[in-house]
Structure 1
Amino acid sequence: MTIAFQQTIPVLRIFDLAKAREFYLDFLGFQIDWEHRLDETSPIYLQVSRAGLILHLSEHHGDGTPGTNVFVWMTGIEALHAEIMAKDYPYNRPSVEKTFYNSLCMKVIDPFGNQLLLNEEIKLDGEV
Structure 2
Amino acid sequence: MIAFHAAIPVLRSFDEGKARDFYCGFLGFSPGFQHRFHPGAPLYFEVERAGLKLHLSEHHGDATPGSTVFVQMSGVAEFHAELIGRDYPNNRPGLEDLPWGRQVEVIDPFGNRLRFCQQD
Aligning the two structures, in what range does the TM-score lie when normalised by the shorter sequence?
over 0.9
Deviations 1:46-82 (A, max 9, x none): 0100000000000000111001000010011111111
Mapped to 1, the partners of 2:75 and 2:106 lie a distance apart of: 15
Identity %: 52
Letter in 1 for 2:104: M
TM-score normalised to structure 2 length: 0.97
**1:121 aligned onto 2:116:** no
Mapped to 1, the partners of 2:40 and 2:66 lie a distance apart of: 25
Count of residue correspondences: 120
State which of 107, 113, 120 in structure 2 corresponds to 1:109.
107
Give the corresponding residue for 1:26. 25
Give the corresponding residue for 2:16. 17
Matches within 5 A, 1:29-44: 29-44=28-43
Could you list the structure 1 runs, at least 4 aligned residues long, displaced by more than 4 angstroms after superposition.
Answer: none
Mapped to 1, the partners of 2:44 and 2:63 lie a distance apart of: 12
Cα offset, 1:84, TM superposition: 1.1
Cα offset, 1:100, TM superposition: 1.4
Q: CA RMSD in A?
A: 0.8
Structure 1 unmatched ranges of 5 or more: 123-128
Structure 2 unmatched ranges of 5 or more: none
Cα offset, 1:6, TM superposition: 1.0
TM-score normalised to structure 1 length: 0.91
Mapped to 1, the partners of 2:3 and 2:34 lie a distance apart of: 28
* Rg larger for: 1
